[in-house]
Chain A
Amino acid sequence: AQSVTQLGSHVSVSEGALVLLRCNYSSSVPPYLFWYVQYPNQGLQLLLKYTTGATLVKGINGFEAEFKKSETSFHLTKPSAHMSDAAEYFCAVGNAGNMLTFGGGTRLMVKP
């Protein structure tokens, strides 16, 4: 069975500050890892993904994440937060059956 833990259900940063959203996973096989963003009243939009190869992956809107196998982590970062980044962020792991297992989500708030 696979699982995802997102530390911090709410994260608040000031505009221009570093964004760090934490994700740890458990998987019995090499994982496929994803970050999705959900804006209010909208569906889930893929930010970035890790499948194989380079462990630092870049996504849309200036976000990136690094796969660290030794730490079973896939933390999401952005050097400088923007007001438009306020949303809920979900980390997910894909398994052999193609289903995604999601973490509980982290709501990012950006203060002016």
Chain B
Amino acid sequence: EPEVTQTPSHQVTQMGQEVILRCVPISNHLYFYWYRQILGQKVEFLVSFYNNEISEKSEIFDDQFSVERPDGSNFTLKIRSTKLEDSAMYFCASTRQGVAYEQYFGPGTRLTVT
């Protein structure tokens, strides 16, 4: 069964450094998302992406964040200058067109900012 994959599974970085989290959505999916889950808290929406542009973003997704689909398979989340409070599990998700609400999630990348 097709699945969303994410790399790395765990990323440790120092405050102020840039990180790129990578996702490979399911191949016939057209809508892509990033969510995050700070330890012990609820899953929060960050951004949605369709047709090579951001379709919606939350207030969390400020100028420090960016997303890109550099080729036909990868979907990336970049944090330009990490802060301690960016430490969280980051989930990528994707959906097929027409069933946009049934989102398939990847296993997540745990980001630790020290």
A residues apposed to B, CB below 8 Å:
32, 34, 36, 41-46, 49, 51, 90, 92, 94, 97-105
Contacts and interface: CB of A to CB of B under 8 A. Distances in A.
Given A44-B43, A99-B48, A102-B42, A49 B102 contact: yes
Contacts of A92: 43
Contact of A46 (B42, B58, B102, B107): B102
A34 B108 CA distance: 19
Task: Give the size range of B's interface with the partner.
Answer: 20 to 34
A98 B42 contact: no
Nearest to B99: A51
B43 A90 contact: yes
B68 interface: no
B43 A51 contact: no
Given A43-B91, A43-B108, A99-B56, A51 B101 contact: yes
Interface string B84-114: 0000000101010000111111111000000
Contacts of B43: 44, 90, 92, 100, 102, 105
Given A42-B107, A46-B102, 4 more contacts: A44-B105, A98-B56, A99-B48, A100-B33
Contact of B48 (A44, A49, A98): A98
**Binding site of A, secondary structure by majority: helix, strand, loop or mixed?**
strand
A85 B68 CA distance: 36
A46 B93 CA distance: 12
Nearest to A34: B101
Given A43-B91, A44-B91, A100-B45, A94 B101 contact: yes
A35 to B, nearest CB: 12
B95 A98 contact: yes
B101 A102 contact: no
A43 B56 contact: no
B106 A49 contact: no
Nearest to B108: A43
Contacts of B18: none
